Structure 1
Amino acid sequence: MPGKIRKRSPLKPPERPYIALGLEGSANKLGAGIIKHSPDGSTIVLSNVRHTYITPPGEGFLPRDTAQHHREWAMTVINDAFKKAELSIHDIDCICFTQGPGMGAPLTSVALVARTLSLLFSKPLVGVNHCVGHIEMGRQVTGAQNPVVLYVSGGNTQVIAYSQQCYRIFGETLDIAVGNCLDRFARVINLSNDPSPGYNIEQMAKTGKRLLPLPYATKGMDLSLSGILTSTEAYTLDKRFRFNENSREGDNDNIITPADLCFSLQETIFAMLVEITERAMAHIGSKEVLIVGGVGCNERLQEMMGIMAEERGGKVFATDDRFCIDNGIMIAQAGLLSYRMGFQTPLAKSRCTQRFRTDQVHVAWRA
């Protein structure tokens, strides 16, 4: 349903309404969203449509197959977005698309759709950094003023803070991202990918009873997650491990279940994330934390971060799955902010890149 969100942009209210279409397809989520910046200073979500490519349990999503999914569903999702917004493509000011980071083939498929629409209807293109899209939508929805941002998703794990028209990366993963770590372990224990492996790990972790020792690898402001994943997988080869919790043998206190492993993996990783986020808060003197990205929906992560923030006299901001999980509306929001500052992406420079760093973006719309 369309909804009105309080304004967070430092830009002056526009003299006329500005409307943007945002297209997201950096991984297995294909999204199209339409957003409106009004002269009264409000930002209105007119539509936010998403379709997810879901693979069978135990399988990840390959770039080629994911790109094919995006090509097959692109026009359905876009048409649905315009229908829900009660607009046509002639009503929009610009077409915003994810330029990176992400998986090469899916990114290119969605960019091709954006270029085609731009040429057919003479609409300017605006390439958007996926990470900045998450941050700007998070700021808009929650009203966070100047938070430390914890960006946690399938492909990215970063602690970020704004300074001098740039989102500076204070710390990040040195190997795999948090979401990737959780997804890969979900495949090991054959969890469903519907609605997402990370969500199903979160639910299973709620019934875990044992906190098992796992590597805790924070390295200054950075962290490493490949070792903790390997160690968690190793427990599935332990003679005490039982896939079926009801078929226990011997002393129940020695049994290790999938729920115990999910619980231990979450608790350890989230403790590491809280630690490096707190360091960033202390460094810049902020009392706000904004959690964005698909893993940011995890209620246990929000709870642990909330405990830390409360002890510092601060507050945690997070969104629900409409805006936390990859979506087109976040690309529309960041793209429209950029467009209103006079930025457009020429067709010749609209190529995608898998390695588009958060700190490469000129955040001209922030003072």
Structure 2
Amino acid sequence: MVVAIGFEGSANKLGIGIVVDGTVLSNCRRTYITPPGEGFLPKETAQHHRDNIITVLREALANAKICTSDIDVVCYTKGPGMGAPLQSTAIVARTVAQLWNKPLIGVNHCIGHIEMGRLITGAKNPTVLYVSGGNTQVIAYSRKRYRIFGETIDIAIGNCLDRFARVLKLSNAPSPGYNIEQMAKKGNKFIQLPYCVKGMDVSFSGILSYLEEKVPKLLAEGYTPEDLCFSLQENLFAMLVETTERALAHCNSQEVLIVGGVGCNERLQEMMGQMCEERGAKLFATDERFCIDNGVMIAHAGAEMFRSGCKMKWEDCFITQRYRTDEVETTWRDD
């Protein structure tokens, strides 16, 4: 039995979770929300994490109904992510590991999403679409590593949606992507947008720039903000479905797993589900409890690493803003 606590703070979500052998004991989270039209900056986001992390830690321990002596390993997000928020969260993880005299393991944020998705959905060996504010990747497992089949060559899809929400001055509560999704449900006029699939990779920055320039004209022509959100979603998600389907065929896989914050989007799940149905494959997805950045995914992935014999020296327990999914050897998988 392995009891693990995980600290996640790579962006504007601060999460602490506790798991025991795949069972979630607590999943506590705080989100840094900025005014409409504004994004979140590293310095202010790190300050938010510092202000809230002790409260969230106490809450996580209370919800789990365990003592610190029961914990076997402390896990934290090593990267990728924003430097200052990562650092502020890692410092607390390092401190409690020393205070509690527990081993410390740094977890790849992307691997955390994948392993949490596999745990919650029961997917065995899926082709993975990882879509979030900072990452967009199509991934498949092969020979002890998660291999990246395709990815964004500029900005992530979540970043594209968030920045478009700022153009429309949409609220950042609970998240800009969620508000775009709700507005898109009311849109019905499709606007032709650039479609940027380049082999197995995708590009979103040009689409965003095109829309930013055209918004005043489109609104003057009678298109509503809802139509703009609808058109953007349909276009971006079609690109993701195309690249995922190509990876699915290449790997001869029968499972697709969507992870990451944008993976909560019901329209993305619907479009991907239609593709899977046509190919005789099965779609796996989770809700906002586990799609959106959380501490449980870091705790679970760290526990898997710890159980497989992974150990980290203190000098290796740093953070890095660039930490590729395929850099990690998956010692816990033998399939």
Query: What TM-score comes out, normalization by structure 1 length?
Result: 0.90
Q: Which residue of 2 aligns with 1:135?
A: 114
Q: Which residue of 2 aligns with 1:150?
A: 129
Q: Which residue of 2 aligns with 1:325?
A: 292
Q: For 1:10-89, what aligned pairs fall within 5 Å after superposition? A: 17-37=1-21, 43-89=22-68
C-alpha displacement at 1:119, in angstroms?
1.1
d(CA) in 2 for partners of 1:49, 1:330 = 12
Q: Which residue of 2 aligns with 1:287?
A: 254
Residue identity in the other structure for 1:298: N
Q: For 1:132-281, what aligned pairs fall within 5 Å after superposition? A: 132-238=111-217, 240-241=218-219, 254-281=221-248
- Cα distance per residue 1:213-246 (max 9 Å; x no partner): 10000000001000111112122120x415xxxx
d(CA) in 2 for partners of 1:88, 1:77 = 15
**Which residue among 87, 90, 94 is the counterpart of 1:115?**
94
Local SS of the residue matching 1:354 = coil
Q: Which residue of 1 aligns with 2:331?
A: 364
Residue identity in the other structure for 1:66: T
Answering whether residue 300 of structure 2 is matched by residue 316 of structure 1, we say no
Local SS of the residue matching 2:123 = coil
Residue identity in the other structure for 1:36: V
- Cα distance per residue 1:232-277 (max 9 Å; x no partner): 2122120x415xxxxxxxxxxx411111110000000000000000
Local SS of the residue matching 1:345 = coil
Local SS of the residue matching 1:241 = helix
- Cα distance per residue 1:4-58 (max 9 Å; x no partner): xxxxxxxxxxxxx210000000000000000001xxxxx2100000000000100
Local SS of the residue matching 1:48 = strand
Q: For 1:85-104, what aligned pairs fall within 5 Å after superposition? A: 85-104=64-83
Runs ≥4 in structure 1, deviation > 6 angstroms?
none
d(CA) in 1 for partners of 2:73, 2:55 = 19
Aligned length: 334
% identical aligned pairs:
65
Aligned-residue RMSD, C-alpha: 0.7
d(CA) in 1 for partners of 2:211, 2:138 = 24
d(CA) in 2 for partners of 1:362, 1:346 = 17
- Cα distance per residue 1:159-199 (max 9 Å; x no partner): 00000110000000000000000000000100000000000
d(CA) in 1 for partners of 2:311, 2:36 = 41
Residue identity in the other structure for 1:151: Y
Local SS of the residue matching 1:236 = helix
Where do 5+ consecutive residues of structure 2 fail to align?
Answer: none
Which of the pair is proportionally richer in helix?
A: 2
d(CA) in 2 for partners of 1:164, 1:29 = 32
d(CA) in 1 for partners of 2:312, 2:39 = 33
Q: Which residue of 2 aligns with 1:6?
A: none
- Cα distance per residue 1:111-156 (max 9 Å; x no partner): 0001101111111001000000000000000001111000000000
d(CA) in 2 for partners of 1:292, 1:176 = 17
d(CA) in 2 for partners of 1:227, 1:264 = 15
C-alpha displacement at 1:315, in angstroms?
1.0
C-alpha displacement at 1:346, in angstroms?
1.6
d(CA) in 1 for partners of 2:176, 2:312 = 35
d(CA) in 1 for partners of 2:312, 2:136 = 27
Residue identity in the other structure for 2:180: I
Query: Could you tell which deviates more after superposition, 204-213 or 339-348?
Result: 339-348
d(CA) in 1 for partners of 2:194, 2:253 = 29
Local SS of the residue matching 2:219 = coil
Larger radius of gyration between Structure 1 and Structure 2? 1
Q: Which residue of 2 aligns with 1:249?
A: none
d(CA) in 1 for partners of 2:267, 2:302 = 31
d(CA) in 1 for partners of 2:214, 2:124 = 43
Q: Which residue of 2 aligns with 1:247?
A: none
Q: Which residue of 2 aligns with 1:250?
A: none
